[in-house]
């Protein structure tokens, strides 16, 4: 059971790193938009255009991070609620074989009755 927890933590850490890099990408994209606004749309108010684009990217990025983290926590809680499936044992195999033998015996009886 501890192996499952460790592997789940490693997987979640990867997802969190992915979220952080998405945020950095969002800031980079908003920086490019700000540069384009500064360069070609409003050259006389370039600093304000760049600042506005960066602030908008920051706000959108933070909102996106919060939504992704909430979704990740919800999935993590649901996964923790699921019962842990134990691996089959030899006794389970014997039980399954006994059930199969009983079913075969019943089928044989049904075939005999039809004759």
Q: Residue 66: name the closest of 14, 19, 31, 12 by CA.
A: 19
Same domain, 105 and 78: no
| Sign of torsion over alpha carbons 31, 41, 55, 13 | negative
Phi-psi region of 35 (alpha: psi -120 to 50; beta: other; left: phi over 0): alpha
Domains of the chain: total:
2
* pLDDT value of residue 108: 92
- My answer on whether 70 and 45 are in the same domain is yes
Residue 99 domain boundaries: 89-115
Q: Are residues 9 and 43 in the same domain?
A: yes
pLDDT of residue 1: 44
The Cα–Cα gap between 74 and 114 comes to 56
Are 113 and 100 found together in one domain?
yes
pLDDT of residue 75: 83
Do 24 and 55 have their domain in common? yes
Looking at the structure, do residues 58 and 71 belong to the same domain, yes or no?
yes
- Cβ distance 79 to 8 under 8 Å? yes
pLDDT in tens, the chain (115 residues): 445 556 666 777 888 888 889 999 999 999 999 999 999 988 898 899 999 999 999 999 999 999 998 998 888 788 777 777 778 888 888 899 999 999 999 999 998 888 7
Residues 26 and 73 in one domain: yes
């Amino acid at each position: 059971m501890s192996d499952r927890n460790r592997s789940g933590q490693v997987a979640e850490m990867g997802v969190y790193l992915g979220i952080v890099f998405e945020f950095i990408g969002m800031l980079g994209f908003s920086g490019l938009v700000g540069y384009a606004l500064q360069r070609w749309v409003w050259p006389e108010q370039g600093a304000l255009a760049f600042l506005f684009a960066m602030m908008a990217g920051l706000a959108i990025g933070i909102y996106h991070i919060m939504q992704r983290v909430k979704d990740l926590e919800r999935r993590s809680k649901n996964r923790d609620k699921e019962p842990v499936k134990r691996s089959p044992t030899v006794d389970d195999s014997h039980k399954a074989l006994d059930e199969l033998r009983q079913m075969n015996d019943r089928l044989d009886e049904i075939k005999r009755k039809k004759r």
